[in-house]
Structure 1
Amino acid sequence: MNHDTTPAPLSPRPLRHLTENQRQLMTSAQLKAHGVGAAAVQEQCRAGGPWQQLLPGVYLLHPGRPTSEERLHAVLLYASRAPERRGRPDGVPAQHTPGRPAYAEAVVSGLAALALHGFSAAPPLTSLDHIDVLVPRTRRLRSTGFARLIRTNALPTPVQRTGVPVAPVPRALADTVAQLSDAGAVRRLLTEAVRSGHCEPAAVVRELSQARLLARPHVVDAVDSLLAEGRSIAEDQLYAMVREHALPDPLWNVDLRLPGGPHLGGVDAFWPDHAVAVELDVRAPRLDGEATQGGRLRKREHLERLGITVVHIAPKKLRESLERQAAVVRTALMASGDRDPAAYVVVLPR
């Protein structure tokens, strides 16, 4: 006697069950999995109906204006859709917790990302006409509605902001700057990135260079302001390090040269009695040519041949641990007594 072991199909769940979901945002594939076919979806989305289509294949299960959060997740659901195969509807990644979709290969960037990172110079999410989302270059989806797709060869590792995968600040800035022609707006965003401690200037310049944006005059002007802002902040932190950790007072921002000889270069702090110099590493490698970088290396080697210890400090290290950097400088000062006397150099204001 044969027994049919094929399970009976599940009965469709009532539509009111769907409207009880926390997010009330679903794709056509998710609706189909709940037994809601295309005709039923179309009926619910009729003029004056209880649902609405926000983007192709993405539906909001309530009337009225979508919230900023719903628009963000709608864009991610649209960008995360799997391609159609053999007549099957688009699929989306499974939800790892109720109401929190795990998006595949989609990362929010641009002004929306900067708003999520807390930039005051970025407009609020509610005022954005488009939400930029990064997707692999191989995806065939197109920008539509308020979803603007940016194809990329390599997705950045996202950070989570309010449950949304967001591009790191340097990448979000580059994608934003690519869309902006307002020099003032570009300058404000880049300056805030450094002033508020979101990232280092070099990281921003690197992303702008990779996006081939440094040929634009208004971007170059903004980068100059960015680097000046970064140096000013790093200098303030260097002053605080000396003051708060009771280091001897150095000579600040001086040029060194041999008596009657060549210019040796400028340093940010110099302790002549110990022959120790500190130089802030605030350069932007993608803006520096090989000659400039080679000049820095030759300068350091020349000073060290003269018996002067050069301590290079990155602004990020100052920001993260003044105490640790103070210990490095203090060690160099204490070790000066064990070294041969340094050559005499002339110290001039820079």
Structure 2
Amino acid sequence: MTHNTPLSPRPLHHLADGGRRLVTAAQLRRHGVSAAATDEQCRPGGPWQQLLPNVVLLHPGPPTSEERLHAVLLYAARERPAGGTVAVPVQPGPGEAPAPAYAEAMITGRAALTLHGFSATPPLPSLDVIDVLVPRLRRLRSTGCARIVRTTALPTAEQVTGVPVAPVARALADAVAELTDAGAVRGLLTEAVRGGHCEPAAVVRELNRARLLSRPHVVDAVDSLVAEGRALAEQRLYRMVREHGLPEPVWNVDLRLPGGPHLGGLDAYWPEHAVALELDTRGHRQQDDALWAEHARKREHLERLGITVVHVTPRKLRDCLEHQAAVVRTALMAAGDREPPAHVVVLPR
């Protein structure tokens, strides 16, 4: 075969139509392009190029960031059956079909965080490798710009600019796994919380699942993250009381029975109504089940004493502040219909 030998004009025209520029070797074969013909087109200086094993870019110029992302996904995704989508539109425009789903593959790590809008991660063109998350038993190896990250349970991907991307907490864990600089880790975790991308508890769960909490620089960063998350949640709580016209509570107090045991700490307490509010900001050194059991025991004890406990999470305060204010207001209004509570001593915490 010579350089000028035509290669199935109809299929090649179809593949290149509409900006569709990436295909797998298997997809080419299904359109009548042999392996030998593909190798000929991908020779140095040829019209095509092989970006990754079995992934072909149908133009000779440097790949764009979008093309690199889709190439990594094509390389890692489980092959679609014959008759499926044969190429990837790099930037779907109005009226074009959406980007195809990639079976058992999604972008994770720093590339995913950049797609989620993080400023602490490099822009896509600056990344030498792109992490892609796949099931643990997939037979793949890292190569070229694709770094394989394995997991026993693939999360539900989020679509960002037509690309399946791991949720922020999972992408953070995969990014942190590759970092040894404490400042870089702290910067990523801080941006995750301050930027409202996710709650500290979700990040901590993923870091714990990835067994990264044994690394001192990660533990230090997580301590800062938990403190940051709690401070933000407390600010939202103060704003909820102020902006929604709730009575001013006493803040950050301990309750005790007169001459008796300690009943627990509370973030806010309305003594005249016997209504308590507790923020759920669970620490990373305790198992969720054990800590939830402790919360439940305290709540049951307080309610037996006639104290209503409102339990809120930082996420609820972030996403539905007005609804949380209504919950507290309802509890306060219902106070007059309850039996008088037991007398408790309120102390500053």
Check conservation: 1:93, 1:101, Cα contact below 8 A. no
Give matches, 1:79-94, under 5 Å: 79-82=76-79, 94=84
CA distance in 1, matches of 2:284, 2:217: 20
Give matches, 1:1-350, under 5 Å: 12-13=9-10, 15=12, 18-82=15-79, 94-95=84-85, 99=89, 100-284=99-283, 287-288=286-287, 293-350=292-349
Letter in 2 for 1:170: A
3-state SS of paired residue (2:47): coil
Check conservation: 1:241, 1:323, Cα contact below 8 A. yes
Structure 2: which 5+ runs fail to align? 1-6, 90-98
Check conservation: 1:12, 1:36, Cα contact below 8 A. no
| Alignment CA distance shift 1:236-1:93 (3 Å) | farther
String of CA shifts for 1:220-271, please: whole Å, max 9, x gaps: 1111111111111111111111111111111111222233433322211111
| Corresponding position of 1:7 | none
Question: Larger C-alpha radius of gyration, 1 or 2?
Answer: 1
3-state SS of paired residue (1:323): helix
How far residue 190 of structure 1 moved from its aligned partner, in angstroms, is 1.4
CA distance in 2, matches of 1:277, 1:30: 62
3-state SS of paired residue (2:156): coil
How far residue 292 of structure 1 moved from its aligned partner, in angstroms, is 5.1
3-state SS of paired residue (2:183): helix
| Alignment CA distance shift 1:287-1:49 (3 Å) | same
Q: How many residues are matched?
A: 334
| Alignment CA distance shift 1:172-1:328 (3 Å) | same
Check conservation: 2:23, 2:87, Cα contact below 8 A. no
Check conservation: 1:276, 1:309, Cα contact below 8 A. yes
Check conservation: 1:190, 1:226, Cα contact below 8 A. yes
CA distance in 2, matches of 1:167, 1:290: 25
Percent sequence identity over aligned pairs: 73
CA distance in 2, matches of 1:223, 1:93: 47
3-state SS of paired residue (1:348): strand
3-state SS of paired residue (1:121): coil
String of CA shifts for 1:76-116, please: whole Å, max 9, x gaps: 1111253xxxxxxx978822897233311111111111111
Alpha carbon RMSD of aligned pairs, Å?
2.4
Report which stretch shifted further, 315-324 or 42-51: 42-51
Check conservation: 1:51, 1:59, Cα contact below 8 A. yes
| Alignment CA distance shift 1:349-1:157 (3 Å) | same
TM-score (norm 2): 0.88
How far residue 219 of structure 1 moved from its aligned partner, in angstroms, is 1.4
How far residue 145 of structure 1 moved from its aligned partner, in angstroms, is 0.6
Letter in 2 for 1:80: A
| Alignment CA distance shift 1:241-1:92 (3 Å) | farther
3-state SS of paired residue (2:10): coil
3-state SS of paired residue (1:233): helix
CA distance in 1, matches of 2:334, 2:66: 57
Check conservation: 2:74, 2:102, Cα contact below 8 A. yes
| Alignment CA distance shift 1:333-1:277 (3 Å) | same
String of CA shifts for 1:159-212, please: whole Å, max 9, x gaps: 111111111111111111111111111111112112222122211111111111
Check conservation: 1:80, 1:92, Cα contact below 8 A. no
| Alignment CA distance shift 1:114-1:206 (3 Å) | same
How far residue 341 of structure 1 moved from its aligned partner, in angstroms, is 2.1
| Corresponding position of 2:92 | none
Check conservation: 2:266, 2:278, Cα contact below 8 A. yes
Letter in 1 for 2:244: H
How far residue 45 of structure 1 moved from its aligned partner, in angstroms, is 2.0
